[in-house]
Homo-oligomer: A and B are copies of this chain.
Amino acid sequence: MKVSARNVFEGIVGSVHSGTVNAEVGIELPSGDKLVAVITLESVKSLQLTPGKPVLALIKAPWVMLMTDASGIRLSARNCLAGKVTSVNAGAVNAEVVVTLPGGTELTAIVTNDAVAELGLAPGVAASAVIKASNIILGVPA
């Protein structure tokens, strides 16, 4: 497999909660972190997702929001991974920011340069990656 998504996490399906059109899938990462993905019920069936099955969670970098200060707010986004900024690569408009999680996993986000300045994103700064459940693509071994 070779995909453009900068974030690919290996995990295990923890739970599947099915609706009529969509389903919510809980994923347990080796780090102990948990992810929640919303995918179509058809995909749950075709990938035969059941608890205990190994799964990959794919997330494109522009789908990741960064947060440096969570005080005073609680978010609807189901996924929040806390780490430290380890690199900032600024372009003309956008910047690529790498957040390294406690276990060493790297997570890449694309945010605007304005956000980099406003949040003071620089190596060593604590930051959380926030990801909506509907922005996670799941994959299983073929």
Interface residues of A (CB under 8 A from B): 1-6, 17-24, 36-40, 42-44, 46-47, 56, 58, 60-63, 65-78, 89-96, 108-112, 114-116, 118-119, 121, 130, 132-135, 137-142
Assembled-state Cα–Cα distance A114/B106 (Å) = 14
Q: Give the chain B neighbours of A109 by CB distance below 8 A.
A: 4
Question: Measured between C-beta atoms, what is the minimum distance from A126 to chain B in Å?
Answer: 11
Of B72, B114, B137, B141, the residue contacting A141 (CB under 8 A) is B72
Assembled-state Cα–Cα distance A24/B44 (Å) = 14
Closest Cβ neighbor of A17 among chain B residues: B21
Closest Cβ neighbor of A22 among chain B residues: B21
